[in-house]
Chain A
Amino acid sequence: MSLLAASSPVWMLAQAAPPAEMGSITLAHYLVVSAVMFCLGVVGFLTRRNLIVMFLCTEMMFQAAGIALVAFSRFHLHHTGQSFVIFVLTVAAAEAAMALALVVLLFRKRESLSAGEWRDLRG
């Protein structure tokens, strides 16, 4: 039972049944982990009032999506899932850059990171 036990050649997988190769871990396991992580991100985003932590929670949701994508990639024997994780990383990086720049700007204005400080931005 090695770390990479499940990573036998893809083309051989194509002839064998994937569940047997994957041991007892099914796609559902990964998706449940992904779902739990996503919902923890949602709960965090809803409860935390620090802008930076809220952004961390969005990153967590991205990460959940990434796990689901890679799991699908593996269980569908298709690499596009992994390619999409690259795009997710790209968007996460861009979002982090913009969001953190905004956070810095907002912190300079109010000396606070509370999201509630900016309630008056409503339409």
Chain B
Amino acid sequence: MGEVINPFILYAGVVLGGLGVLLALPRKRISPQVIGGLLGALGVGVLLIGLGLKASPEKQLPNVYFYVFAAVALGGCLRVITHPRPVYAALYFILTILASAGMYLILAAEFMAFALIIIYAGAILITYIFVIMLATQAPAEDEEEAAAPEYDQVSREPALAAVCGFVLLAALSTMVVRGVRGIEVNRGQAAFQSQEAMERVPRRLERALHRAKAISADEAVYLTPDGLPVIDMHTGTVVVARPDPTGVRGAFAEASRRSVAIPSSFDARNVESLAFDFLNRHPGAIELAGVILLMAMLGAVVLSRRQVELDEEAKANQSRRLSAEGEA
């Protein structure tokens, strides 16, 4: 197998995309934004189709959802950087975020998909929109709609920036298409991680087994004295046993031990796996993130506080009023 993608297709796509973005960027007089947008879309399409052509040896249809989300996300991005009005740019960015969340879903990262929508689209972008509102001059009386300020209407050095950005893209995508083959999947570690996650949810596994009628009603997932189930990831089985007939809590009748297959629908959920990974492997980073957020909050408060200038008389009045309230 040669290249993941034919280099001519790759660079043709990059050049087309660059031209498209160049044309789509806002200009003072006539800006051929539609043509630019089309060209850009064409470029991205060439890129992705080139990838798809090479990557489907079995003539499978490509995953439509991926293409849809990718197209929406990149189209949104293009509009973010080309729309002369910041509010629309922010709204297009929300579109990009939503499409990205869709891609996260395809990538089996459900938690991150919804977290992205809630945090990014719901919180951060709304903050942006608020600030855009705050930081825009009110339109003059006689104008129907305020013209966008000059610095929004005219982009700066579009040609140079496009060249710069798309040369970077060429370098990046070359790295990507030539480099991915060198990245090996570590299956053993994945199995280990999955087992680690499953061992922590024996009760849920037991419920799934009951539901699938794989075990009888009085059987339970066997737990070692450490409280861990015995799971074999290679055969996909788990050991079950009946509780100890003498009625000792947590003890099992050793004779009744047997292995049953784990239902194929069962897995440690994404949230569970992510949580175990997140909390087990990065506790220090979580603390640091908390500190960063706190500092950012304090910083934002300090920076945006409006200096209220009160003269001496007003101060005196205020203190008198406060003391009066205090007495009341």
Q: Which residues of A contact B (CB under 8 A)?
A: 1, 3-7, 9-15, 18, 22-33, 35-44, 46-50, 52-53, 55-57, 59-60, 63, 66-67, 70-71, 73-80, 82-83, 85-87, 89-98, 100-105, 107-108, 111-116
Q: Which of A29, A36, A104 has the most CB of B within 10 A?
A: A36
Tell me whether B176 and A35 are in contact (CB under 8 A).
yes
Which residues of chain A come closer than 8 Å to B162, judged between CB atoms? 43, 47
Provide the bound-state CA to CA distance between A77 and B285, in Å.
21
Whether A1 touches B109, Cβ cut-off 8 Å, given contacts A24-B56, A107-B135, is no
Give the number of residue pairs across the A-B interface with Cβ within 8 Å: 338
A33 — nearest CB in chain B belongs to which residue? B70
- Dominant secondary structure of chain A at its interface with chain B: helix
Which A residues touch B123, using CB under 8 A? Answer: 93
Residue numbers in A under 8 Å from B25 (CB-CB)? 43, 47
Q: Is the CB of A1 within 8 A of B63?
A: yes
Q: Contact between A76 and B165 (Cβ–Cβ < 8 Å)?
A: no
Q: Which DSSP category, helix, strand, loop or mixed, fits chain B's interface?
A: helix
User: Complex Cα distance A15/B90, Å?
Assistant: 43
Q: Are A90 and B278 in contact (CB under 8 A)?
A: no
Distance from B33 Cβ to chain A, minimum over Cβ atoms (Å) = 13
Contacts of B299 in A (CB 8 A): 97-98, 101
Q: Which residues of A contact B194 (CB under 8 A)?
A: 9-11, 14, 77
27 chain-A/chain-B pairs, Cβ below 8 angstroms: A3-B106, A10-B273, A15-B191, A25-B55, A26-B4, A32-B51, A40-B80, A42-B164, A46-B164, A47-B81, A47-B157, A47-B158, A49-B151, A53-B81, A56-B90, A57-B80, A77-B193, A78-B190, A79-B277, A85-B112, A86-B115, A100-B300, A103-B131, A104-B303, A104-B304, A108-B306, A113-B86
